[in-house]
Amino acid sequence: MALFGIPKDLKDLMNSKKSGVALALLAAGTLIYHGIKAGCRSLGNYIEERAKRKTNRMQADSMTEFENLKFEHRKAERAEKEEYARRIRQESKSSQETNTTPEC
C-alpha cells in the first residue's frame, strides 16, 4: 500500500535495478532531512529572538521603574533641602530682627 505515492517497502526501491532510483531516494531523503532541520533551526531562532525581546522589554520596564523611583527620591530630597533652607532663612531672619539695636 502506498502512502502519499511512496511505496511501503522502500527496501525494494533501494535495491531496484533501475538506474538512479536509489540516488533519487537518497536525495529526496536528504532534502527532507535538511528541510526539517532548517525549519527547526528557524523555529528555534524565532523562539530565541522572542525570548530576547521579552527579556529586554522586562529589563527596560524594570529600569524605567528604577529610574522613576530614583527621580521620586531625588525630588523628595530636593524638597527636604528646600524646606530646610527655608527654615534656616526664617530662623536667621527672626534672630536678626530680635538682635537689632534701635538707631539713635
The stretches of 1-104 forming alpha helices (DSSP H) are 10-14, 21-99
Amino acid, single-letter form, for residue 48:
E
Cα 3 → chain centroid: 45
Per-residue pLDDT of the chain (104 residues; tens, 9 = 90+): 444 555 556 666 666 666 676 667 777 777 788 788 888 888 888 888 888 888 888 877 777 888 888 888 999 999 999 999 999 988 888 877 766 555 55
According to DSSP, residue 2 is labeled E
Q: Which residues pair with 6 in a beta bridge?
A: 3
The pTM assigned to this predicted structure is 0.37
Residue 82: per-residue pLDDT: 93
How is residue 10 written as a grid cell?
522502500
| AA identity, residue 62 | S
